[in-house]
Amino acid sequence: MLPIVLIHGYSSEGSSNTAETIYGTLPSELRSHFGAEVLDINLSRWISLSDGIALDDVSFAMERALQSQSAKLADGFHVIIHSTGALVVRNWIKLYSPKPCPIHNLVHLAGANFGSGLAHIGRGQMARWARFFKGTGRGVRVLDELEFGSSKTIDLHAHFIDAGNDMYHDYQVQEFCLIGSQTLSSMRHIPIRYVKEDSSDNTVRTSAGNLNYNFLRVAPVDSAYSISINKLKNLISQRKSDELLDTSSIYQFDLSDVASERQAVPYFIAYETAHFGEDIGIVTGSDNRKEIVPLVKQALATEYDEDAYAATAESFETARQQTFKRAAKLRWSALEWNKQSQYEGHAQLIFRLKDQFGTEISDFDITIKSTPPGTRKNKLEHMIEDKHLNKKNKGTITFYLRTQKFNKRSKKWTELLDRVPTVHLEITAHEDKSDDIEFAPLSIKLTPTNIRALIQTFRTTIVDVTLLRLPSPKVFSLK
């Protein structure tokens, strides 16, 4: 068995905890089962909580740490990450890894691949004082990259969908995702939504931990760059308030391509499992070892082979379905929360807006409007439970949608996306510092079939939009 490297990331453990404190019995169980050497790179004990350290710095530190162990890792190795370690490792692969990568199997335990709501809280004054007493900083720059809709993180994941950079076929890394969807009972009284969101483990959303993500790029067609600003204004002025503007001659996009042909990543949601905690934490929890550890062992033992990888994906899916069968039987009283609601699936929908020069657009509006028929509960816009405008990247907004509902009679989860009507999506932008600049709006008609291709339960979809920015003839003219 190849060596197994354990990589934590940004954390609240302080600066001097041991691997046993962070990983519990997992290292000893892996040594006993595989007879393999288990190495620990605990990045929080290194530098990731220093306010001046960024994700690239941590990935560079990882590179140096791996080089220091090069003799032991010469034939390759497996990796298990928790939390922010997901971004660290994927960023290391992007920046430093050859093809194929020396990492064979990469197991994500609640990997914060698409951000964490706690990143916003981590910048606060209370977090500053908490870090002071623990002897660390807050890791502000790492928190920036953990915030929902971080452009750095979007670029990282975009890298692995570009030709020649496929994680499975080009880097030949097999990834596996395990996450919980519970919060600790003690946290339900804290008035912060991100520690008790449904379909979240009190730190990472289930959709944010799933690497089966969708990515759609929308950009102007070549002929659109010759449109005059006056023609564009005339087009906009002719639109009636209840009609969808026809922008098919301006923008190109193909919704049939949104569901990537990438190899499916095995994905598992554990029963009664949170991000941390001695009883139900995904890494150290005592109550869930029988669900977590066998799948970690199966992932590490999976040979690089499409059939073997697909078989493990099926095992993960079977285990996930078993989780939800058990969750359907949970009982609750009037004095408790609805225990099934924590398992109701959600999805993340991220829009990133830039102009054709690559500059982010900060003054914009996104309108999602369902067309009749359709009751209120079936409309896509009413499924949105949270929206977050990235504080550093002002042109990026993340929507969090409840896409499932538990039926008490049938004891099953209903897919709300199966009942949505057609949706009109419109994105407009404005340059408030000049009347001589106009953005071409984007209007898309999404049929129910389009919506189900674009948005899926437990997944994140990124819509990367290039909006056309047009100057008036006054900006530059030759006479």
Q: What share of the chain is helix, strand, coil (3-state, %, to 5)?
A: 35, 25, 45
Question: Quick check: 395 and 360 in contact, CB under 8 A?
Answer: yes
Which of 94 and 124 is assigned the larger pLDDT? 94
Mean pLDDT taken over the chain: 87
**pLDDT score for 199:** 97
Q: Can you count the helices (H) and strands (E) in the chain?
A: 13, 19
pTM over 0.95: no
DSSP for 282-307, written as a single string: TTT-STTHHHHHHHHHHHHH--S-HH
Q: What percent of the chain has pLDDT over 90?
A: 63
**What is d(CA 140, CA 119) in angstroms, rounded to the nearest whole number?**
9
**What is d(CA 123, CA 46) in angstroms, rounded to the nearest whole number?**
20
**What is d(CA 196, CA 189) in angstroms, rounded to the nearest whole number?**
9
Q: Domain-by-domain residue ranges, the chain? A: 4-210+260-328, 214-258+344-471
pLDDT in tens, 127-174: 443 444 344 444 567 788 889 999 999 999 999 999 999 999 999 999
pLDDT bin (cut points 50, 70, 90) of residue 124 is low
**pLDDT score for 122:** 58
Q: What percent of the chain has pLDDT over 70?
A: 87
**What is d(CA 385, CA 359) in angstroms, rounded to the nearest whole number?**
29
Q: Where are the alpha helices (DSSP H) in 69-146?
A: 85-96, 118-121, 125-134, 140-146
Q: Residue 70: count other Cβ atoms within 10 Å of its Cβ.
A: 9
**What is d(CA 141, CA 139) in angstroms, rounded to the nearest whole number?**
6
Q: Is the pLDDT of residue 224 over 90?
A: yes
* Amino acid (1-letter code) at residue 147: E
**pLDDT score for 7:** 87
Query: From residue 29, how far is each of 162, 181, 289 by CA, in Å?
Result: 38, 24, 11
User: Residue 459: which of 338, 345, 342, 356 has the closest Cα?
Assistant: 345
**pLDDT score for 472:** 83
**pLDDT score for 185:** 84
Kindly state the tokens that stand for 305: 């082979």
Q: Is the pLDDT of residue 15 over 60?
A: no
Q: What's 262's DSSP letter? A: S
Q: Is the pLDDT of residue 188 over 90?
A: no
Compute φ and ψ for 179, nearest 5 degrees: -155, 160
**What is d(CA 295, CA 266) in angstroms, rounded to the nearest whole number?**
10
Q: Is the pLDDT of residue 90 over 80?
A: yes
pLDDT bin (cut points 50, 70, 90) of residue 300 is very high
**pLDDT score for 132:** 40
Average pLDDT over residues 295-309: 98
User: Which of these ranges, 18-22, 284-288, 330-334, 438-442, has the smallest mean pLDDT?
Assistant: 18-22
Looking at 3.40.50.300, 3.30.420.40, 3.40.50.1240, 3.40.50.1820, the CATH number of the domain 4-210+260-328 comes to 3.40.50.1820
H or E element that contains 79: strand 77-82
Provide the b/e sequence for 404-434 (b: ≥16 CB within 10 Å): bbbeeeeeebeebbeebbbbbbbbbbeeeee
**pLDDT score for 375:** 59
**pLDDT score for 129:** 39
Q: Is the pLDDT of residue 469 over 90?
A: yes
**pLDDT score for 241:** 61
Q: Where are the alpha helices (DSSP H) in 11-81?
A: 19-23, 26-34, 43-46, 55-68
pLDDT in tens, 17-76: 666 777 888 999 999 999 999 988 765 444 445 667 888 988 998 899 899 888 999 999
**What is d(CA 241, CA 203) in angstroms, rounded to the nearest whole number?**
41
Q: What sign does the CA torsion over 275, 206, 344, 268 have?
A: negative
